[in-house]
Amino acid sequence: MSFQVFGIPVSRGVAIGRAVLVASSRVDVAHYFIDEAHVPGEIKRALRARDEVARELESLKEDMPEDAPHELAALLDVHLMLLHDEALLGATRQWIVERHYNAEWALSAQLEVLARQFDEMEDDYLRERKADLEQVVERLLGAMAAELGKGQVGAAQVVQRDFAGEDPLLLVAADIAPADMMQFKRSVFHGFITDIGGKTSHTAIVARSMDIPAVVGTREASRLIRQDDWVIIDGDSGVVIVNPSPIVLEEYRFRQRQSELERARLARLRHTPAVTLDGERIELHANIELPADAVSAVEAGATGVGLFRSEFLFMNRGGELPTEEEQFQAYKAAVEAMKGMPVTIRTVDVGADKPLDRMSANELRHEHVLNPAMGLRAIRWSLAEPSMFRQQLRAIYRASAFGKIRLLIPMVAHLSEIRQILETLRRVKQQLDDAGQPYTHVDLGVMIEIPAAAVMLPLLLPHVDFVSIGTNDLIQYTLAIDRADEAVAHLYDPWHPAVLQLIASSIAQARAAGKSVSVCGEMAGDAAFTDLLLCMGLRSFSMHPSQIPSVKQRILRADSQKLKLALPAILASEDPEKTASLAFAATSQRLH
């Protein structure tokens, strides 16, 4: 039966394929594809876990006191029966063999299948056995984790082949952790669907960075969609169509082909300089997460890296921090890949929607705060961990010997933070001098993403070389909206007058002080905001490489001098979006 699920469109385009469900277990489960050579080993891991759990349950039965309730022994028998049921481990084996899931993912996938079967049973007693099944699976996952903890290494290897055959795969989940997203980014999925999230949640940002359609905030998708259902993701309207009819399927296949043709047309602008009709040259920089992304930035025609999110070097490491040498090699690789173009490295911004795998003493306090988006994150965390911070800064300065690097500090809100940063930089450079390590001048910049920083910008500007406006958090904090919460996603409004006032004044003040200013939030990569940012005086945009062609096309058709005449009316308007639309449409007609 065909049905639709509605959510928030966050990455445009159409994706058609089979659903792959990532179940939300109470036990953290790694999700990755394994290579053919690791299939037998993963099956053996699952079987060893079964045998270990069986021994535990048998031991519990043997050690049970004589006065123990009869129901307790019966419950252990039920768990043993479920453990040896071919519907659990036999089908788990099939997920490993046919889809090349790692053992934990395969077991979770089969749990999802069986749990739904239990939910549909009419008998109350049988329906309640789902809890027993979940407990058995959690024991199995715990046994696998314990085995790894003893040094038994699993086949944790992400591969890039599509083991589903010719059918594209679409990922469906309640939510996707940033660490998992980085694994999936290098994998085979053609689209994402999640129950929670908003337009600037991390899942949405990574989906856009992969240039694949995504719908978030669906609330029920992971419960309603089944493994291997045929699904259409309409990333333009936020609609998910499950088991579509042949007519609907053909309509969306046509739209898919049209989208691919448009993408190919825009790709031809790659080597065209981004210059407005009135001769203003615009910098189009790239946002990247890993050094390898720099190659995509160059291929897309980026003129530099405006935001290297260094925190992704800290993820998927079991809580272990990267060494100074590891970071140095990563930053050096990015700098060299950009072939002399500038690379702006943001210091680690963990916290909120990007926690580390395991917390230190300071972070543990952060993990349990009620609102992590306002807790110990970004520069606050770095200053609370001075040894880690100095290590990262040394790595960044060492990499500066191989190309132009700019240092960007996130979430600054106090002058005292700037003073601590400057003192830390002085110590770092002294350490490098004492060690005979070469480095060159590194420009210092701050992110304007807290309203307080935007308001006090005149006090910050004398201490920095540039500023970068992070619109995602600036909107979140200005409007008191959790950008990852689908319940209030409709209130997240980049066109809100207060937001536009803060952005416009930040750009104007930075330019008046002779300091360079860029926008690196999602507004920069959305062509709907290109004319607005140009009329505010912005001349440096930073976005994911895949977004550069559409923004460049808008710039090539714009006259910045004529556009800026509309700014006073836009900022004074009760409905800035409508005012901007009318003003820019009139400007476009005059130009053509």
At 31, is the pLDDT very low, low, confident or very high (cuts 50, 70, 90)?
A: confident
In a domain, 551, yes or no: yes
Give me the pLDDT at residue 144, please. Answer: 87
Between CA 523 and CA 471 the distance in angstroms is 7
CATH number of the domain at 70, please: 1.10.274.10
In this prediction, residue 362 carries a pLDDT of: 42
- pLDDT per residue as tens digits for the range 521-541: 999 999 999 999 999 999 999
Helix ranges (DSSP H) in 513-565: 530-535, 548-556, 560-563
Question: Can you tell me the distance from the alpha carbon of 513 to that of 541, in angstroms, rounded to the nearest whole number?
Answer: 19
Q: State the CATH number of the domain containing residue 188.
A: 3.50.30.10
Least confident of 66-75, 224-233, 370-379: 66-75
pLDDT tens profile 197-214: 887 776 777 777 777 899
Q: Which of 133-142, 264-273, 508-517 has the highest mean pLDDT?
A: 508-517
For residue 154, being part of any structural domain is answered with no
Which band of pLDDT confidence, cut at 50, 70 and 90, is reported for residue 588? Answer: confident
> Is 535 among the residues known to form the active site?
no
Residue with tokens 């996952």: 141
CATH number reported for the structural domain that contains residue 361 in this entry: 3.20.20.60
In terms of Cβ atoms closer than 10 Å to its own Cβ (0-12, 13-18, 19+), residue 327 is: buried
Q: Please indicate, yes or no, if residue 156 is contained in any of the structural domains.
A: no
For residue 552, what pLDDT band results from cuts at 50, 70 and 90?
very high
Predicted local confidence at residue 180, as pLDDT? 65
For residue 513, what pLDDT is reported? Answer: 97
The count of structural domains within the chain is: 3
Is 284 in the same domain as 389? yes
Structural domain contains residue 66 = yes
Domain coverage including residue 88: 36-149
What is the bridge-based pairing of β-strands 466-469 and 516-519? parallel
DSSP annotation of 536 reads T
Q: Is 3 helix (H, G, I), strand (E, B) or coil?
A: strand
* Segment 143-179, tens digit of pLDDT: 888 777 654 444 444 444 444 456 788 989 888 766 5
- Across the range 431-442, mean pLDDT stands at 97
* 301 contacts 552 by C-beta, under 8 angstroms: yes
d(CA 246, CA 223): 24
Q: How far apart are CA 157 and CA 42, in angstroms?
A: 12
Residue 584 inside a domain? The answer is no
Q: What is the pTM of this model?
A: 0.73
Give the model's confidence band at 1: pLDDT under 50 very low, under 70 low, under 90 confident, else very high: confident
Q: Quote the tokens at residue 435.
A: 């060690």
**Of 205, 237, 265, the domain-final residue:** 265
Residue 183 in domain: yes
Q: What pLDDT is attached to residue 188?
A: 72
DSSP state of 485: -
428 pLDDT higher than 90:
yes
**Of all residues in the chain, what percent carry a pLDDT higher than 70?**
87
Higher pLDDT, 514 or 211: 514
- Condensed to tens digits (0 to 9), the pLDDT of residues 338-392 reads 999 999 999 999 765 555 554 443 443 444 445 667 788 899 999 999 999 999 9
- Whether 566 maps to a domain, the answer reads no
Residue 276 has pLDDT above 90, yes or no: yes
Same domain, 252 and 277: no
In whole angstroms, give the CA distance from residue 148 to residue 385.
Answer: 29
pLDDT, residue 367, reads 43
- Closest by Cα among 554, 512, 515, 506 to 534: 554
Q: What number is the average pLDDT over the span 282-292?
A: 94
**Same domain membership, residue 145 and residue 42:** yes
Instruction: Please pick, among 202, 285, 366, 544, the residue that the annotation labels catalytic.
Output: 202
309-336 average pLDDT score? 89
Does one domain contain both 284 and 183?
no
How many CA atoms within 13 Å lie on the side-chain side of 431? 15
pLDDT at res. 219: 87
379 shares its domain with 484: yes
Catalytic member of 38, 520, 535, 544: 520
| 202 carries an active-site annotation | yes
> Lowest-confidence range among 9-13, 483-487, 499-503, 584-588?
483-487
Q: Which long-range contacts (CB under 8 A, 24 or more apart) does 546-551 make?
A: 546/208, 546/209, 546/210, 546/211, 546/296, 546/300, 547/208, 548/284, 548/286, 548/300, 548/301, 548/302, 549/263, 549/266, 549/267, 549/269, 549/270, 549/300, 549/301, 550/266, 551/284, 551/524, 551/525, 551/527
Shared domain check, 522 and 400: yes
Let me know if residue 232 belongs to a domain. Answer: yes
Instruction: Please indicate, yes or no, whether residues 79 and 128 belong to a single structural domain of this protein.
Output: yes
Instruction: Report d(CA 118, CA 124) in Å as an integer.
Output: 10
Same domain for 102 and 176, yes or no, is: no
What is the DSSP code (8-state) at residue 414? -
Q: Give me the half-sphere count of Cα atoms (radius 13 Å) on the Cβ side of residue 275.
A: 7
Report yes or no: 188 and 162 within 8 Å, Cβ to Cβ. Answer: yes
Q: Which spans in 35-85 are helix H?
A: 39-62, 70-84
Q: Does residue 87 have a pLDDT over 70?
A: yes
Say if residue 71's pLDDT is above 80.
no
More confident residue, 318 or 13: 13
The pair of three-digit structure tokens given for residue 121, joined into one six-digit string: 């049973």
**Residue in the structure block whose two tokens are 């990563």:** 330
Pair 390, 534 in one domain: yes
Is 278:297 a contact under the CB 8 Å cutoff? no
Is pLDDT larger for residue 165 or for residue 231?
Answer: 231
Do 111 and 196 lie in a common domain? Answer: no
484 contacts: CB under 8 Å, gap ≥ 6: 196, 197, 198, 200, 201, 202, 352, 353
495 plus 372 within the same structural domain? yes
Q: Are residues 207 and 132 in the same domain?
A: no
